[in-house]
A = this chain, B = another copy of it.
Amino acid sequence: MATTGRVTLPIEQGMGDQLPGLLSRLGADAVRNSDGTWLPEITPQLGVKVYETYFPARGNQEFALAHLDARPRFYLMSERVTAPSAEPLAIDIMKGYYTLQVEPDQGDYQRWWEVIDRTTGEVVPVEGWSVTGEGSDVTVTIAEPVAFHVYTVSFLSWQVWDSTQMYNYTTNNWENDPTRVREIGYDVRHPEAWEFMMSSLRTWCEERPEVNVVRFTTFFYHFTLVFNDLGKEKYVDWFGYSASVSPLAMDAFEAEYGYKLRAEDFIDEGYYNNSFRVPTKVFRDWIDFQSRFVCARVKELVDIVHEFDKEALMFLGDTWMGTEPYGKYFAETGMDGVVGSVGSAATCRMISDIPGVKYTEGRFLPYFFPDVFKPGGDPLGEANESWLQARRAISRKPLDRIGYGGYLSLAVQFPDFMARIEQIANEFRSIHEVGHGHLAERSTIRVGVLNAWGELRKWQTHMVAHALWYKQIYSYLGVLESLAGLPFDLQFVSFEDAINGRLDDLDVVLNVGAAGTAFSGGDTWLDPELQGVLRRFVGNGGGLIGIGEPTAVLKGGAYFQLSDVLGVDKELGFSQSSDRYPVETPEHFITADLKGALDVGEGAGDIFATTRDTAILRLQNRSVELAANQAGEGRGVYIAGLPYSHDNARLLHRAIYWAADREADFDHQWIPSNPGVEVAVFEQAGKALVMNNLTGAASTTLTGRTSGLEGDGELRELQLDLEPMESRWIDLA
């Protein structure tokens, strides 16, 4: 079934003859350049859409050097320094930072800098410390420290080098390339910079009639990315706003919100409001303030693009602070599309679920770069892995387009890879074609993920750097990864939303994460109103699934504040005196497809059942790893961790049905007996897509109704033998 469209291919100079054939083979209807490649002259004759990359806030070094006061800034904290005595304490604030990236901004430092006694939390008055030195050699001296207290200096600094360009520069050894400079950015708040951004874009559009799509990479404020004194990454937060600050912005904030910002509002004890921190009101205000401003300015750039009859496409990442696509103001930008890197099913859904744009596009892996496309590299394997992950997500909520990046000239040297992405393109298009614009059917069980961020960070929970593995997140990310390919209508609900009645729209709520984090909720759970809302929800028949350390904060004799609903709590050492006689119930609806051991990843420590009524489904080394609890009319399920696996996705699928008290419906919903296989039902088309997620062949039985997922048609049972990674359309009737 060869089809065309929905695919973007990177092209480059010197491949002119091959391009028409390649485009046709892949059915590509758009081309793009990449970092370090230029579109060939033949481009306008290819008969496809043309994308070109655009950087609004960097790239013109001449402007940047002429307006050093327009450079963006960071809020940074010095090392923690212990005063060894009451003698004056000198703190080298740049210790550990990279002088090529960071330079303290001494302008009005008494207003913007802060010295804090971290032992007491008290601010040292500005009269109590002084600044000496200049450039990147700056010392703060505390005149009369308290002996043995720990001090830090929070300081505003210039971004001397754009973080993304710096990353590319150091990663690709551009120091050996005399044509490369260290690019300096400019802050959109600066009036001249803003004027320059608008006029530059206009000129750029004028000069490029052949370009159909301006691919913004991205806009104004980089996520927090700071390097250390050895030029290696020191701090990375894909959601960080520490690089969005400036006195201009903070003054404007004060004028609007009526209160002064402090350095500590950004420094946050050195945690920099990373997304694991339960967000403060001030930080939420700042996100709102900057997002509103950034989106308004983005809209003006998009308007310019539209003036030239081009489309505006935003790359999701890099300089994206303020344009978070699930934010309140993003839709107002008028952006035509969003493109992002697909590293998993969850990141795929993060893109494909974005509301208010005409199209979404996923840039697939691998990037056509020499690190993979080399002798001994395995581009085919990486393409397969990426596709198997993304396909789960696409079958539930398709991207509108897919694409690749890098050097096409490298990829064509791997014919089996090219053949495979041709298949993938066709497989991808078939989902659109069979679906005819309808989504795959979803269970009527409405599921919500409850945390401090809610909708703003949809599909973006438990992430540090974009799509990278961290030890403390993978056991929770697996929940999102599982859900990204399961047939549920998923909402992301904040605690505030919950209090405002949003749970009324849900059947099952998930609270997932480590104690104290924004994803579990930390102190927020001390609010009796929040607890009450959840208990009422469960009291009315709802289901609560807690994973890791849900609702955890020590108070009143409980650590999991909803231990009464979940039927379990965590032992911190205080209740060891209570004897426990745990009995495992190995056979249960939730574990019916789990043949081997349950993999809870890092687990959650020592979990115990709070009553004899709690069904302990898995007990390991005296700790409960999986439990099911009838709590009045509703139900609680506890899982110690859920790294992604086929088995764990199936376990979660079942846990949701159990929590919703809907076990009876489960078996007739086209559930494959083999957890390595998943099915997406397209009822309007009378078809279902059966996907073998395994890299080996898979056999499975499949039972469902001729009428679709939850209809009342006849029951059918199929026996299927699937090739490795195969997806197959079957007729429901």
Contacts and interface: CB of A to CB of B under 8 A. Distances in A.
Given A514-B573, A532-B149, A556 B119 contact: yes
Interface in A59-90: 79-80, 82, 84-85
Given A277-B574, A573-B517, A535 B82 contact: yes
A557 B148 contact: no
A573 B150 contact: no
Contacts of A576: 274, 276, 464, 470, 472-473
A575 interface: yes
Interface residues of A, number: 70
Nearest to A571: B472
A724 B538 CA distance: 63
Contact of A632 (B84, B224, B269): B84
Contacts of A515: 572
Contacts of A271: 557, 574-575, 577
A272 to B, nearest CB: 7
Interface in A271-288: 271-272, 274, 276-277
A564 interface: yes
A237 interface: yes
A138 interface: no
B572 A528 contact: no
Interface stretch (A226-234, A348-356, A492-500, A709-717): A226-234
Given A147-B536, A148-B531, A535-B82, A577 B224 contact: yes
B120 A528 contact: yes
B472 A152 contact: no
A118 interface: yes
A118 B148 CA distance: 39
A550 interface: no
B148 A276 contact: no
A541 interface: no
A235 interface: yes
A528 B119 contact: yes
Given A118-B558, A576-B276, A80 B564 contact: yes
Interface string A470-486: 11110000000000000
Contacts of A622: 471
A423 to B, nearest CB: 38
A516 B579 contact: no
A340 interface: no
Interface of A: 79-80, 82, 84-85, 116, 118-121, 146-150, 152, 224, 228, 232-237, 240, 269-272, 274, 276-277, 464, 470-473, 513-517, 528, 531-532, 535-536, 539, 554-558, 564, 571-579, 581, 606, 610-611, 621-622, 632
List the 4 shortest-distance A-B pairs measured between CB atoms, nearest first. Answer: A269-B557, A118-B556, A148-B535, A148-B532
26 contacts: A82-B535, A118-B556, A118-B557, A148-B539, A149-B531, A149-B532, A150-B564, A152-B557, A232-B579, A233-B579, A234-B579, A235-B577, A236-B577, A237-B577, A269-B557, A271-B574, A271-B575, A271-B577, A274-B574, A471-B606, A513-B573, A515-B572, A516-B574, A517-B572, A517-B573, A517-B574
